[in-house]
Amino acid sequence: MMILRPRFLSPSAAAHPEPSRISSSSSASRRRGRRRPRHPTSKPPSSSPSPPPPPQPDLRRLTSRIVDLTRRRQLSQIMDEVDAARRRGLDRGGAGAGLNTIVMNAVLEACVRCGDVDLALRLFDEMRLPGGCGVDGVSYGVLLKGLGIARRIDAAFEILESIEKDSSIGSPWLSPHLICGFLNALIEAGDMRRANALVARFRQVLYEGHSVLLYNLLMKGYIKSNFPLGALTVKDEILRQGLKPDRLTYNTIISACVKSAEIDMAIRFLEDMKEEANRDNNPELLPDAVTYTTLLKGLGNSRDLYSVLKIVVEMKSAPISIDRTAYTAMVDALLACGAINGALCIFGEIIKQAGNNKDLRPKPHLYLSIMRAFATIGDLDMVKRLNKRMWPDSVGSISRSAKQEADELLMEAAINNNQVAVKVETLSGFTNSLLRPHIVLDDPVEKYMVPFQETQPLHADLILDDVVMRFFEDPVVPIVDDWGSCVGIVHRHDCTKMDAPLLSMSRGPPLCVPTSTSVEHVIDLLLREKSQMVVVVKRGNMYEGSYTSSSRPLGVFSLAILWKFTVDASDIDGVGAS
């Protein structure tokens, strides 16, 4: 029969209990001997006090620093600071180089978190050497977890067998907690075959605690695998062992049902959970925010609006704390069911409560979800408002992809509303204004064109130096010949020679479209040809192409003209034109 050592009992402390008692009694006698002198002229004793012990590094601060650097995955910085602490300990004459097992366990955890298991093994070997700081159960647990993550299963089993035979340095206790760390690493990797083998190998140790922790881990493993409903067989095993499922057990089972799209089964387990909690008078078994959030995800995927509303009402009446994640799940489920107004009501509730609780401030994901819904129905005004408020009201950083998606949703809303303003704004570079779209894509261009004579065309033979001020006012100007026919269009940035005629700086014959052409096609033509103006002609059999003498110009259509229709400058931010 194997005799297990107490986990926290050091062999050296058990073999020599007397020195600490003697030390404490001598300290007490010294405290009793310290009395204030009766006269201020009393002389101090002749014997000089012994020098104070060399100062040790602040190990608590060093451990906190290692934990902080571990979160940032800065393993090289951790090793540099640990080496510096060792050197300081050696220079001051500190025993064990000034570092203890707690500090080195934190370093082992950093190595495992950063994926350097080889370094963790080397440090572990240094710790258990005669001159090292020693190892304990935490050291073995961290190392087993690292070996499981690195899929070095054989090495991990060798360590477990040495612990079982009581031949490991540090005399660790083969506890369920120690094995569950290794088991969890296997489950996270989705290796259920080795996880089940580990359970079978150390079944006696794992079951001696009569805890559902092991079964909860196994259920999580089935959820990560391709057989989530295997978690139900684990629940049956829990009942056969005479154990009672806890809240985590039910949450895991409900998550398995949701992943398998078995929503009715998930609802039944929710009812069983509440019934058992009321029967045993156990409030710790009642559903929490995680339970309801998991269910909302499944109900949203199944488009069951009635059940979603029922769960939302139940959450608000239950004695639970509804956090940002739970509120976000409500909105997502309502949006998935097409209940945009209901989602907007929950969103308004979040914004209202976030005034008193900053932890409820929504993330950009929530704004984008609502913007997608309104963009689908073409509600440009609401998409625009949400896009404007996402920047100051959301919490966390807004990624580049989120910014790009917000711009695309503005365009999608405008197009779905049969409006083109956002499309023109995005593709032509007008990105710093609020839109007032008034142009419909299917309308003929004749409805929005400007009569040709109102554009005040210039003669093609004029020298640029004589009319250069015109191009400071207009970015593009049509030019005509002696018969009044449009022979070209001159763009401002093409005007490079002051002594040259305008005709030499035009881009050839102008782009022409008939009056019946749709606005959408005209805009696509302008953007594709990288031009800013087209000439509208009367010929009905002409769709686009070069200008001919038989196609008399009736008007022009340009991006600048379009912008005058789509943006009312006096309405932007409530500031009138100056």
* Nearest Cα to Cα of residue 507 among 466, 469, 484, 535: 535
Q: Is residue 468 within 8 Å of 495, Cβ to Cβ? A: yes
Question: pLDDT (tens digit, 9 = 90+) per residue, 280-299?
Answer: 888 888 999 999 999 999 99
- Whether residue 542 is contained in a domain is answered as yes
Residue position matching structure tokens 């984008």? 368
pLDDT of residue 335: 93
Lowest mean pLDDT segment, chosen from 91-95, 394-398, 494-498: 91-95
Q: How many Cα atoms occupy the beta-carbon half-sphere of 410 within 13 Å?
A: 23
- Whether residue 489 is contained in a domain is answered as yes
pLDDT of residue 419: 52
> Residues 143-149: what's their mean pLDDT?
85
Going across the sheet that includes 533-537, the strands are 450-451, 553-558, 533-537, 512-514
Given a cut of 90, whether residue 433 has pLDDT beyond it is no
Instruction: Please give the tally of structural domains in the chain.
Output: 1
Distance CA 257, CA 294 (A): 10
pLDDT of residue 287: 92
pLDDT of residue 191: 74
- Per-residue pLDDT band at 439 (split at 50, 70, 90): low
- Whether residue 533 is contained in a domain is answered as yes
Torsion of CA 220, 222, 226, 230, to 10 degrees: -140
Lowest mean pLDDT segment, chosen from 47-51, 75-79, 257-261, 491-495: 47-51
Q: How far, CA to CA in Å, does 173 sit from each of 128, 161, 435?
A: 16, 12, 70
Question: 234 in helix, strand or coil?
Answer: helix
* Nearest Cα to Cα of residue 469 among 480, 450, 456, 485: 456
pLDDT of residue 559: 76
pLDDT of residue 334: 94
Does 570 or 129 have the greater pLDDT score?
129
Q: Give DSSP secondary structure letters for 529-573.
A: HT-SEEEEES-TT--SB---TTS-EEEEEEHHHHHHHH--GGGGG
Lowest mean pLDDT segment, chosen from 23-32, 105-114, 164-173: 23-32
Tokens of 439: 């142009």
Question: pLDDT (tens digit, 9 = 90+) per residue, 407-427?
Answer: 888 888 877 775 555 455 544
pLDDT of residue 294: 93
Q: What is the DSSP letter of 362?
A: P
pLDDT of residue 6: 36
pLDDT of residue 171: 66
CATH code, 511: 3.10.580.10
pLDDT of residue 493: 84
pLDDT of residue 463: 92
Given a cut of 80, whether residue 549 has pLDDT beyond it is no
Q: Is residue 62 within 8 Å of 70, Cβ to Cβ? A: no
- Whether residue 326 is contained in a domain is answered as no
Q: Is residue 457 within 8 Å of 477, Cβ to Cβ? A: yes
Which percentage of the chain shows pLDDT scores above 90? 19
Distance CA 510, CA 337 (A): 51
Given a cut of 90, whether residue 222 has pLDDT beyond it is no
Bridge partner list, 357: none
> Residues 110-130: what's their mean pLDDT?
88
pLDDT of residue 571: 44
- Whether residue 27 is contained in a domain is answered as no
Q: What is the DSSP letter of 42?
A: P
Sign (positive/negative) of CA torsion 126, 130, 133, 137?
Answer: positive
Q: What residue numbers bound the domain in which 474 lies? A: 445-565
Q: Is residue 423 within 8 Å of 519, Cβ to Cβ? A: no
Given a cut of 70, whether residue 48 has pLDDT beyond it is no
Which percentage of the chain shows pLDDT scores above 70? 77
Lowest mean pLDDT segment, chosen from 265-269, 372-376, 525-529: 525-529
pLDDT of residue 324: 92
> Residues 300-306: what's their mean pLDDT?
91
Distance CA 479, CA 513 (A): 17
Does 55 or 402 have the greater pLDDT score?
402
pLDDT of residue 547: 42
Tokens of 77: 């910085």
> Residues 301-317: what's their mean pLDDT?
92
- Whether residue 532 is contained in a domain is answered as yes
Q: Please compute Rg for the chain using Cα positions.
A: 39
- Whether residue 369 is contained in a domain is answered as no
* Nearest Cα to Cα of residue 220 among 242, 188, 181, 182: 188
* Nearest Cα to Cα of residue 520 among 418, 391, 426, 438: 418
Q: Is residue 172 within 8 Å of 133, Cβ to Cβ? A: no
Query: Which secondary-structure segment (H or E) carries 451?
Result: strand 450-451
Q: How many Cα atoms occupy the beta-carbon half-sphere of 406 within 13 Å?
A: 21
- Whether residue 249 is contained in a domain is answered as no
* Nearest Cα to Cα of residue 161 among 201, 207, 133: 201
Q: How far, CA to CA in Å, does 270 sit from each of 9, 212, 262, 284, 304?
A: 44, 19, 13, 14, 16
First to last CA, the chain: 95
- 554: burial class by Cβ within 10 Å (0-12, 13-18, 19+)? middle
* Nearest Cα to Cα of residue 208 among 249, 172, 179, 169: 179
